[in-house]
Structure 1
Amino acid sequence: MIAASSERVWDALVDREALVRWLPPGGMTARFERFDPRPGGSYRLVLTYADPSGAPGKATADSDVVDVRFVDIVPGVRVVQAVDFVSDDPAFAGTMTMTWALTPVDAGTRVDIVAEDVPDGISAEDHATGLASSLANLAAYVERPA
């Protein structure tokens, strides 16, 4: 549950500058190499660890790189993304599907995330922790005064 309108949350899901600010989990920063937010569009995101000693990156010693395709975008309702990690490690191979769905509620917006086909190299606990961190960042980002 996020105490902000679904319009404000939606804007944060599809805006390049907003995503760079809230999407990286705690202990990481992000930058886009490209960004085209439309059905059939894509982006490449580089996530860099502040301290890579505890979580070596998948693409380099200190970073994760993801290639993402927008599979479906229903404005104000959901974003479906096909996510591929750039890695030589076969444990991170395959395409993960991420669906971010918004539902307006009295208190603001309910945000549901479904991750399917998560690569074996990503533990369920680590993935849940990362998503919870990103959701907390999203809430802080959209709940602040405009």
Structure 2
Amino acid sequence: MNQHFDPERDLSIERVIRAPRERVWRAWTDPLQLAQWWVPAPTVARIDRFEPRPGGAFVTSMSDDGEDFVPHTDGIFLLLEEGRRLVFTNAITSSWHPAEPAPVAMTAEILFGEHPDGTAYRAVVRHGDPADRARHEELGFFDGWGAVTAALVELVERGADTAE
């Protein structure tokens, strides 16, 4: 879990999750589980296209009322190392075109490590420059990513996935 971290351009969230690493990985790679925690409540997520493989689409929408959905994520997966690491970006759309200027272009690396109490979880979100990092922090990175990480933790610690 010692990936390079540039404090000038990167933001991160770290947690020890009291659940097996395989369960946390599944919550990231099973679209039914991802929809349960991917956006902060009470907003709901819809997984529109989800192809967890290098080059695969990662497209989600969100809704405050569960009926009218607006775009949320349109990107691609860059790398998946089973049970250990996944990387995605919104700088390239699911149609493999350069993204129109997003509020914040980023590449997110999600790391799943062994820990005596379960899973050492780390999300590192990388930005092109310090200004983009600052903008993402101002837009509520810690509140937003913190809320969805807490929802992920709740899902996997209660053992809600029945695919064990």
Using the alignment, how far apart are the partners of 1:44 and 1:125 within structure 2? 21
Using the alignment, how far apart are the partners of 2:30 and 2:144 within structure 1? 20
- Higher RCO (CA 8 Å, separation ≥ 6 residues): 2
Paired-residue identity, %: 29
Counterpart residue number, 1:71? 78
Classify the secondary structure of the residue corresponding to 1:69.
Answer: strand
Gaps of 5+ in 1: 51-59
Residues 31 and 47 in structure 1, CA contact (< 8 A), matched pair in contact too:
yes
C-alpha displacement of 1:65: 2.3
Using the alignment, how far apart are the partners of 2:138 and 2:43 within structure 1? 19
C-alpha displacement of 1:124: 3.8
Superimposed CA distance per residue, residues 75-123 of structure 1 (whole angstroms, 9 cap, x where no aligned partner): 011110012599xx95616x31011101110001011011112577544
Give the TM-score, by structure 1 length: 0.79
C-alpha displacement of 1:33: 1.7
Counterpart residue number, 1:92? 103
Counterpart residue number, 2:142? 128
Classify the secondary structure of the residue corresponding to 1:25.
Answer: coil
Q: Say if 1:120 and 1:66 are closer, same or farther in 2 by CA, change over 3 A.
A: farther
Superimposed CA distance per residue, residues 13-33 of structure 1 (whole angstroms, 9 cap, x where no aligned partner): 111001000111123101022
Using the alignment, how far apart are the partners of 1:134 and 1:29 within structure 2? 11
Q: Say if 1:105 and 1:120 are closer, same or farther in 2 by CA, change over 3 A.
A: closer
Residue pairs, 1:28-43, within 5 angstroms: 28-43=43-58
Give the TM-score, by structure 2 length: 0.71
Using the alignment, how far apart are the partners of 1:39 and 1:91 within structure 2? 22
Residues 2 and 109 in structure 1, CA contact (< 8 A), matched pair in contact too:
yes
Runs of 4+ in structure 1 over 3 Å off: 118-125
Using the alignment, how far apart are the partners of 1:91 and 1:123 within structure 2? 15
Aligned length: 133
- The RMSD of aligned alpha carbons is 2.6
Using the alignment, how far apart are the partners of 1:33 and 1:80 within structure 2? 19
Q: Say if 1:133 and 1:85 are closer, same or farther in 2 by CA, change over 3 A.
A: farther
Letter paired with 1:143: E
Residues 48 and 61 in structure 2, CA contact (< 8 A), matched pair in contact too:
yes
Q: Say if 1:120 and 1:42 are closer, same or farther in 2 by CA, change over 3 A.
A: farther
